[in-house]
Structure 1
Amino acid sequence: MDQLKVHNSLKPGAPVPFVPIEPGKVSWNYAQTDIIRRIMRDYFGFKIKFVMNITDIDDKIILKTRRQKLLELEKSKTYTESELSKLAAQAFQAYAQGNLPELLKHFDGSDLSPGNYARDIIREGKPGDDETKMKMHINNLNAATKAIQDNRIFGGADEILLPYLDSLYKHTIDARDHTIFTDVTQYWEADFMKDMDALNIMRPDVVTRVTTYVPQIATFVEKIVQKGFAYEADGSVYFDIAAFEKAGNPYARLRPESRNDKALQEEGEGSLSKNLGGKRGAGDFALWKKSKSGEPSWPSPWGEGRPGWHIECSVMASDVLGAHIDIHSGGIDLAFPHHDNELAQSEAYYCENGHEHIWVNYFMHMGHLSISGSKMSKSLKNFQTIQDALKTDFTPRGMRIVFLLSRWNQGIEISPDMRTMAEGWESSLNSFFIKAKSHIAEANGRSVTEDVKSLSLNGSGDELQVALKNAEAEMQAALLDSFDTPRAMRCIDKLIKDFNIHEHAHKTNMDVRGLENIARWITKMVGIFGLDANASPPHGGIGWASTSSNSNLSPAEIVAPYAEVLKRVKAEVNSLNVHSETLDQLLSTNPETEFEPLSRKSNNPETLALPYLRNISRIRDTLRTLAPTSTSKKQILIFSDQIRDSDLLNLGVYLDDRPDNQPALIKFIPASELLAQKEEKAAKEREKAAQKEKVRLDRERVEFERTEKAKNSHLEMYKGDEKWSAWDADGIPTRTKEGEDVPKSALKKLRKDWEKQKKVHEEWKAKNGT
Structure 2
Amino acid sequence: MASEISRQQPKWHLPTPSSAQPVLKFQNSLTKTKTDFVPKRGRQVTWYNCGPTVYDASHMGHARTYLAMDIIRRVLEDYFKYDVLFVQNVTDIDDKIIIRARQQYLFNNLKQTTQHLDAALINTVEDAWKAYVSSKLEKVAGAAESALKDWDSFLASMTPEETAKAILVDEKFKMTLGALQTSRSAISNAQKSLAANDSSKVQADALLDASQDIVSVSLDKEHGSEVNDPKIFRDFPAYWEDKYFEDMEALNVRKPDIQTRVSEYVPEIITYVQKIIDNGYAYEAQGSVYFDTGRYDGHDGHHYAKLEPWSKGNTALIEDGEGSLGSKLTGQKSKNDFALWKGSKPGEPTWDSPWGAGRPGWHIECSVMASAVLGENMDIHSGGIDLAFPHHDNELAQAEGYYNCKQWVNYFLHAGHLHVEGQKMSKSLKNFISIQEALKLYTARQIRLFFLQYQWNAKMDFKQSSMMEVIQGETTLKNFFDNVKGVLHKIRSDGSRGASELPNGGVTHRFGPTEAQLLSTLQAKQDAVHAALCDSINTPVAMDEIMNMVSQTNKYIATGSKAVNPHLLNKVATWVTSMMKIFGVADNGADIGFGSSSDQANGNVEDTLMPYLHTLSGFRDQVRRMARDNAPQNQFLEACDVLRDTQLVDLGVSLDDQEDGSALVKLVPREELIEAREKKQAIQAEKEQKRQAAQAERERKRLEKLEKGRVSPMDLFKSRTDEFSRFDDQGLPTHTKDGEEVAKSRKKKLQKEWDTQKKLHDEFNKEMGNQ
- The one-letter amino acid paired with 1:659 is E
- The one-letter amino acid paired with 2:633 is K
Match status 1:273 vs 2:326: yes
Match status 1:106 vs 2:146: yes
The answer to whether the 8 A contact 1:195-1:387 is kept is yes
SS at 2:687's partner residue? helix
Change (3 A) 1:700 1:559: closer
Equivalent of residue 168 in structure 1, options 215, 222, 232: 222
Cα distance in 2, alignment partners of residues 198 and 256 from structure 1: 38
1:308-323 to 2 correspondences below 5 Å? 308-323=361-376
- The one-letter amino acid paired with 1:401 is L
The answer to whether the 8 A contact 2:498-2:564 is kept is no
- Give how far 1:317 is off: 0.6
Change (3 A) 1:680 1:128: farther
Equivalent of residue 490 in structure 2, options 442, 447, 462: 442
SS at 2:28's partner residue? coil
User: In the alignment, what sits opposite 1:623?
Assistant: none
- Give how far 1:638 is off: 1.8
Cα distance in 2, alignment partners of residues 444 and 205 from structure 1: 43
Cα distance in 2, alignment partners of residues 645 and 428 from structure 1: 22
Cα distance in 1, alignment partners of residues 260 and 49 from structure 2: 11
- Give how far 1:385 is off: 2.3
For 1:263-290, what per-residue CA distance to the aligned partner results, in whole angstroms no more than 9, with x for missing partners?
A: 1111001011123112111211111111
User: In the alignment, what sits opposite 2:728?
Assistant: none
Cα distance in 2, alignment partners of residues 130 and 16 from structure 1: 40
The answer to whether the 8 A contact 2:308-2:389 is kept is yes
- The one-letter amino acid paired with 1:554 is N
- Give how far 1:555 is off: 2.4
User: In the alignment, what sits opposite 1:611?
Assistant: none
Change (3 A) 1:315 1:114: farther
- Give how far 1:765 is off: 5.6
User: In the alignment, what sits opposite 2:264?
Assistant: 212
In structure 2, the gaps of 5 or more residues are: 1-20, 51-65, 191-205, 501-506, 724-735, 738-746, 760-771
Match status 1:283 vs 2:282: no
Change (3 A) 1:372 1:767: same
The answer to whether the 8 A contact 2:291-2:337 is kept is yes
The answer to whether the 8 A contact 1:458-1:511 is kept is no
User: In the alignment, what sits opposite 2:184?
Assistant: 145
Match status 1:359 vs 2:396: no
The answer to whether the 8 A contact 1:402-1:419 is kept is yes
User: In the alignment, what sits opposite 1:551?
Assistant: 601
User: In the alignment, what sits opposite 2:614?
Assistant: 564
Cα distance in 2, alignment partners of residues 482 and 659 from structure 1: 47
- Give how far 1:697 is off: 5.5
The answer to whether the 8 A contact 1:62-1:295 is kept is yes
Equivalent of residue 476 in structure 1, options 530, 549, 561: 530
User: In the alignment, what sits opposite 2:4?
Assistant: none
The answer to whether the 8 A contact 1:4-1:481 is kept is yes
Equivalent of residue 73 in structure 2, options 37, 62, 71: 37
The answer to whether the 8 A contact 1:310-1:341 is kept is yes
Match status 1:221 vs 2:273: yes
TM-score, normalised to structure 1, is: 0.80
- Give how far 1:552 is off: 4.3
Change (3 A) 1:380 1:297: farther
The answer to whether the 8 A contact 1:329-1:365 is kept is yes
- Give how far 1:117 is off: 4.3
Change (3 A) 1:551 1:206: same
- Give how far 1:131 is off: 5.8
- The one-letter amino acid paired with 2:447 is M
Match status 1:529 vs 2:583: yes
Match status 1:302 vs 2:350: no
User: In the alignment, what sits opposite 2:548?
Assistant: 494
- Give how far 1:517 is off: 0.5
User: In the alignment, what sits opposite 2:101?
Assistant: 65
Change (3 A) 1:708 1:93: farther
Cα distance in 1, alignment partners of residues 547 and 750 from structure 2: 68
Change (3 A) 1:9 1:439: same
- The one-letter amino acid paired with 2:394 is N
- Give how far 1:550 is off: 3.9
SS at 2:306's partner residue? coil
Equivalent of residue 541 in structure 1, options 591, 602, 612: 591
- The one-letter amino acid paired with 1:551 is A
User: In the alignment, what sits opposite 1:600?
Assistant: none
- The one-letter amino acid paired with 1:525 is M
For 1:271-330, what per-residue CA distance to the aligned partner results, in whole angstroms no more than 9, with x for missing partners?
A: 111231121112111111111221111111111111110000100011001110111111
Change (3 A) 1:434 1:71: same
TM-score, normalised to structure 2, is: 0.80
User: In the alignment, what sits opposite 1:668?
Assistant: 667
For 1:438-480, what per-residue CA distance to the aligned partner results, in whole angstroms no more than 9, with x for missing partners?
A: 1111111223999999974377432221221121111111111
- Give how far 1:108 is off: 4.2
User: In the alignment, what sits opposite 1:199?
Assistant: 251
User: In the alignment, what sits opposite 2:442?
Assistant: 394
1:621-640 to 2 correspondences below 5 Å? 632-640=632-640
- Give how far 1:344 is off: 0.9
- The one-letter amino acid paired with 2:668 is I
Change (3 A) 1:293 1:454: farther
Match status 1:84 vs 2:133: no
For 1:36-82, what per-residue CA distance to the aligned partner results, in whole angstroms no more than 9, with x for missing partners?
A: 10000000011011111111011111111111112223334558722
Match status 1:50 vs 2:102: no
The answer to whether the 8 A contact 1:460-1:509 is kept is no
Change (3 A) 1:654 1:704: same
Cα distance in 1, alignment partners of residues 567 and 347 from structure 2: 69
CA RMSD of aligned residues (A): 3.5
SS at 1:222's partner residue? helix
Change (3 A) 1:512 1:80: closer
User: In the alignment, what sits opposite 1:624?
Assistant: none
User: In the alignment, what sits opposite 1:185?
Assistant: 237
The answer to whether the 8 A contact 2:87-2:256 is kept is yes
SS at 2:350's partner residue? coil
The answer to whether the 8 A contact 2:521-2:549 is kept is yes
Cα distance in 2, alignment partners of residues 8 and 459 from structure 1: 45
- Give how far 1:147 is off: 1.3
Cα distance in 2, alignment partners of residues 104 and 650 from structure 1: 62
- The one-letter amino acid paired with 2:181 is N
Cα distance in 2, alignment partners of residues 567 and 24 from structure 1: 56
Change (3 A) 1:478 1:157: same
SS at 1:531's partner residue? coil
User: In the alignment, what sits opposite 2:756?
Assistant: 767
For 1:401-426, what per-residue CA distance to the aligned partner results, in whole angstroms no more than 9, with x for missing partners?
A: 11111121113222111210221111
Match status 1:6 vs 2:26: yes
User: In the alignment, what sits opposite 1:596?
Assistant: none
Change (3 A) 1:468 1:83: same
SS at 1:364's partner residue? strand
- The one-letter amino acid paired with 1:506 is G
Cα distance in 1, alignment partners of residues 753 and 597 from structure 2: 72
User: In the alignment, what sits opposite 1:513?
Assistant: 567
User: In the alignment, what sits opposite 1:734?
Assistant: none
- The one-letter amino acid paired with 2:128 is A
User: In the alignment, what sits opposite 1:433?
Assistant: 481
The answer to whether the 8 A contact 1:464-1:515 is kept is no
- The one-letter amino acid paired with 1:223 is K
Cα distance in 2, alignment partners of residues 483 and 689 from structure 1: 54
Change (3 A) 1:149 1:228: same
Change (3 A) 1:305 1:124: closer
The answer to whether the 8 A contact 1:39-1:528 is kept is yes
Change (3 A) 1:438 1:103: same
User: In the alignment, what sits opposite 1:643?
Assistant: 643
For 1:122-148, what per-residue CA distance to the aligned partner results, in whole angstroms no more than 9, with x for missing partners?
A: 6689x9897651111111111111111
Cα distance in 1, alignment partners of residues 752 and 244 from structure 2: 82
Equivalent of residue 465 in structure 1, options 504, 516, 519: 519
Change (3 A) 1:158 1:565: closer
Cα distance in 1, alignment partners of residues 509 and 257 from structure 2: 46
Q: How many aligned residue pairs are there?
A: 669
